[in-house]
Amino acid sequence: MPHPGGFSRAMVVASAIALVFLAGCTASSPRFRTGGGTASKDEENELHWSGKIRDEETREDDRKVSLDDVKRVSTPRPDRQKYSNQTPAGIDRDRVLLDVVSFLGAPYAYGGNSKEGIDCSGFTVRVYESATRKQLPRTTREQYQIGDPVEKDRLQFGDLVFFNTTGRIPSHVGIYIEDDLFAHASVTRGVTFSSLESTYYRTRFVGARRVVE
């Protein structure tokens, strides 16, 4: 049976997602924090890789995520007899989805952590902090070292999923949702949903971690 009240909250999530998609959320070009105005070595490296990532992602992300895909995972279904809003790791699905939706369309910005501009690890930090009260390390590499490793065929809602997009393992992180979908701050599209089964992400997947108490 659905979690009491879960359906109404899930409908709120689905409605919010629909509004964002219908508004045509498109991210602007990636931005980079430069502090005093001079790009650091890390920022120069990120700028170099961003062009390569945009080209490869545009070319290889061959499994686009539609509004129906996202609504399907945000609404309890009759075939899920053991549906619970609370995951085994203690994560509130609806709360995570609402926080993810609040960031949808935010542009990518290296070093950013707000809706004006955010990077992949900044996005996971903000969602986890707001939705789960768990404080993640700031960088993708540090996040890859916490929690418990999870096999791809055993992923659960809320697990962190990691990718090699620059030749460095890991260089990108997102939050697994369900049905092979994950939420993340994409260099190309900003905060969005993508499919683990697209050619781009399937070939670059390097692991997952489950953050537990």
Question: Is 25 annotated in the active site?
Answer: no
Question: Is 120 annotated in the active site?
Answer: yes
Question: Is 172 annotated in the active site?
Answer: yes
Q: Which entry of 3, 25, 48, 184 is annotated as an active-site residue? A: 184
CA distance 177 to 35: 34
CA distance 164 to 53: 11
SS3 annotation, 1-53: CCCCCHHHHHHHHHHHHHHHHHCCCCCCCCEECCCCCCCCHHHHHHHHHHHHH
Q: Which residue has the tokens 């900003």?
A: 190
Q: Amino acid letter at 106? A: A
Q: How many CA atoms lie within 13 A of 192 on its CB side?
A: 21
Q: Amino acid letter at 158? A: G
Q: Which entry of 3, 25, 48, 172 is annotated as an active-site residue? A: 172
Those residues with Cβ within 8 angstroms of residue 75's Cβ, 6 or more apart along the chain or in another chain: 7, 10, 11, 13, 14
CA distance 201 to 171: 12
Dihedral angle sign, alpha carbons of residues 6, 7, 12, 15: positive
CB atoms < 10 A from the CB of 90, how many? Answer: 12
Active centre residues (catalytic): 120, 172, 184
